[in-house]
Amino acid sequence: MKKGTIILLAVVGVILLLVFNGCGSYNKMVAKQETVSSAWSQVENVYQRRSDLIPNLVSTVKGVANFEQKTLTDVIQARANASSIKVDASKLSPEQIQKFQSSQGELSQALGRLMVVSEQYPQLRATENFKELQSQLEGTENRITVERQKFNEVVKDYNSYIRSFPQALYAGMFGFQKKGYFEAAAGSDKVPEVKF
């Protein structure tokens, strides 16, 4: 064989290797991106479950004649705010995750205040409906924690993959971008002060 033919075959072989490697990397990035989207859908699903429980909880609490109206209004408003934040799974930037997390955190705080205030109403705590709703909310909060953890795990896998060499080259070429994580709320690293 001539020297020119050997060089041409080597160049063609390298190009084919790069194309096949690129196709495999692209397909794997798409699969990992879909896993992230699926995990995000599950996170939204458990937050929606919590949101769906709130009207029943508010209705039950309203049955107590002189329950603090501001507390109920705060919960209703926080739920409306949290429900209005929609995040596109294909654009899970750290800023969008933070915005979503912030609105959900406000709802969690409002629900926490509702539960604290409800302690002052023994007739409310004695109702079976309130006990059941409180139990379902606690279970839902646990589910939220689990799904957020799973989401962070698949995001870590995705982010690690697209930032590794040579996938980073293909990720940049095809527009695959780093996804955001759920992070601890600001101030959660400080130990709460307990006074008696």
- On whether the pTM is more than 0.85, the answer is no
d(CA 83, CA 104): 9
Show the CA angle centred on residue 192, arms to residues 189 and 195, nearest 5°: 165
**Ordered structural domains, the chain, with CATH:** 40-165 (1.20.1440.20)
Q: How far is CA 38 from CA 27, 34, 41, 42, 92, in A?
A: 16, 6, 5, 6, 12
Q: How far is CA 56 from CA 71, 117, 189, in A?
A: 15, 17, 33
Euclidean distance between the first and final Cα of the chain, in Å? 91
Are the CB atoms for 92 and 180 separated by under 8 Å?
yes
Local confidence pLDDT in tens for the 196 residues of the chain: 688 888 888 888 888 888 888 888 899 999 999 999 999 999 999 999 999 988 888 888 877 656 677 788 888 889 998 888 888 888 888 888 888 998 998 999 888 888 888 887 777 777 778 888 888 888 999 999 999 999 999 999 999 999 999 889 889 889 999 998 888 665 544 544 544 3
